[in-house]
């Protein structure tokens, strides 16, 4: 988000009939560009001892360009594996439908910008007739052609990963897969509710989301016991949350209330507490307030300089770090320091300025800068 989200921020329309500003989807462009990037330090591993432990030095870590981390919903949902937890009938499925539609259409979710992409919704506790009634009640008959549904899928030990891989091969711009619910894809048999079992199942899902650079949002239920910490209400052991990249907990004070609280925690996003209200006429969740403001990184002088350097007449540039330093006379910085700083902040450069960055290995390292969307 370009500014902090204020607790008094106006509530934007969440239906299909509101304003529809879209952010340019970088997925296909990035997919081609990042093929040139050294995605993993494993390309330069150093084996230690007879066990073959792969290590990277701090120097190698800083000198590697990792894939840029782009949000699904900016300031709200990122790539990785997340739990979405709530009691039965709290409104999880309505919100999943709302989120899926907004990502597929590229519509802002409340005042959170959305990056458009294909969505797969595994509605494993529904049937197609119920989905049809629910979605038409929420959005009318305006369809998102890149939103797909399935009401049956294999469990993890029966080949769910292969099913999802086939979908991703056919839909290379996929950004979000919703699994509703976790219980429907758990392995049958064994110690299903031990810490190790819970940790293992989410670890498998996380490995998949990390491999393909997508978001897996896994719907789960709360336990019946109340707790002061809403995250202690997740059904199962702490292994579920421990292995996930983050979690959303939706809960109402009373089942008959229209208002609900959504608590959000994550490794790569700020903790948030949102109050939302269910519009029973349109069957969508509306934003009411946030208990905290979203922290926004201050302007980075180096990124500002690069943004000014790439003009409409010169949207691309390639050269050595030394040559780039010479093009940025106001930046008092050494060439090797510039390269490492750009390696670290490449996600911010892409998300905030629409500029793709790469640092190609070869006889002589070459920096590549490409503006992917017009300068504001």
| pLDDT value of position 123 | 96
Q: Is residue 141 over pLDDT 50?
A: yes
Neighbours of 368 (CB within 10 A): 17
Instruction: Provide CB contacts within 8 A for 209, sequence distance 6+.
Output: 79, 80, 81, 177, 215, 216
**Do you know the residue count of the chain?**
376
- Give the residue-averaged pLDDT of 246-254: 87
- Cβ(47)–Cβ(56) below 8 Å: no
Q: Is residue 234 over pLDDT 90?
A: no
| pLDDT value of position 18 | 40
| Cα distances (angstroms) measured from residue 356 to each of 29, 67, 350, 370 | 9, 10, 5, 5
CA torsion, points 270, 275, 281, 282, in degrees to nearest 10? Answer: -10
How high does pLDDT run on average in the chain? 82
- Give the residue-averaged pLDDT of 137-148: 93
291 or 84, higher pLDDT: 84
Q: Is residue 142 over pLDDT 70?
A: yes
Sheet strands (E) in the chain? 46-48, 53-55, 71-73, 77-78, 80-86, 118-123, 147-150, 174-180, 215-221, 246-251, 259-266, 272-279, 284-290, 316-319, 355-360, 366-371
- Give the residue-averaged pLDDT of 68-74: 88
Quick: pLDDT tens for 312-368.
Answer: 899 999 999 999 999 998 899 999 999 999 999 999 999 889 999 999 877 788 999
| pLDDT value of position 191 | 56
d(CA 105, CA 142): 10
Q: Is residue 231 over pLDDT 50?
A: yes
d(CA 221, CA 86): 5
Q: Which residue's structure tokens are 């109340």?
A: 226
Quick: pLDDT tens for 210-222.
Answer: 999 999 999 987 7
Quick: pLDDT tens for 174-210.
Answer: 999 999 988 888 876 555 667 777 878 888 999 999 9
Neighbours of 188 (CB within 10 A): 8
Domains of the chain, each with CATH number or no CATH = 27-68+299-371 (no CATH), 71-290 (3.40.50.300)
Q: Is residue 5 over pLDDT 50?
A: no
Confidence of residue 224 (pLDDT cuts 50, 70, 90): low
- Give the residue-averaged pLDDT of 102-116: 95
Look at 133-137, 172-176, 303-307, 372-376 and tell me which has the smallest mean pLDDT: 372-376
């Amino acid at each position: 988000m370009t500014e902090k989200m204020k607790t008094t921020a106006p509530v934007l329309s969440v239906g299909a009939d509101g304003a529809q500003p879209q952010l340019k989807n970088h997925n296909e462009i990035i997919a081609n560009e990042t093929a040139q990037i050294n995605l993993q330090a494993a390309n330069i591993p150093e084996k230690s001892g007879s066990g073959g432990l792969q290590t990277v030095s701090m120097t190698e870590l800083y000198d590697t360009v990792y894939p840029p981390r782009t949000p699904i919903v900016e300031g709200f949902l990122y790539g990785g594996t997340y739990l979405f937890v709530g009691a039965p009938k709290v409104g999880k499925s309505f919100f999943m439908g709302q989120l899926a539609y907004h990502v597929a259409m590229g519509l802002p979710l409340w005042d959170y910008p959305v990056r458009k992409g294909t969505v797969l919704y595994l509605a494993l506790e529904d049937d197609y007739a119920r989905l049809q009634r629910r979605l038409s009640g929420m959005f009318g008959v305006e369809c998102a052609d890149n939103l797909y549904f399935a009401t049956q899928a294999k469990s993890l030990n029966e080949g769910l990963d292969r099913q999802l891989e086939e979908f991703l091969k056919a839909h290379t711009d996929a950004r979000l897969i919703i699994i509703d619910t976790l219980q429907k894809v758990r392995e049958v048999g064994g110690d299903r509710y031990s810490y190790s079992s819970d940790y293992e199942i989410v670890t498998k899902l996380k490995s998949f989301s990390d491999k393909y650079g997508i978001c897996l949002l896994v719907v789960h239920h709360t336990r019946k016991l109340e707790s002061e910490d809403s995250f202690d209400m997740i059904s199962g052991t702490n292994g579920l949350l421990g292995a996930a990249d983050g979690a959303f907990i939706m809960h109402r004070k009373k089942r008959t209330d229209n208002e609900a609280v959504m608590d959000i925690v994550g490794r790569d996003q700020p903790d948030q507490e949102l109050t939302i209200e269910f519009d029973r006429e349109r069957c969508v969740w509306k934003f009411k307030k946030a208990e905290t403001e979203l922290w926004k990184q201050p302007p980075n002088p180096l990124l500002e300089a690069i943004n000014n350097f790439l003009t409409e007449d010169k949207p691309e540039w390639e050269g050595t770090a030394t040559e780039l330093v010479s093009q940025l006379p106001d930046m008092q910085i050494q060439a090797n320091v510039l390269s490492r700083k750009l390696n670290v902040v490449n996600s911010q450069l892409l998300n905030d300025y629409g500029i793709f960055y790469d640092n190609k290995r070869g006889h002589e390292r070459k920096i590549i800068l490409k503006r992917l969307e017009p300068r504001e």
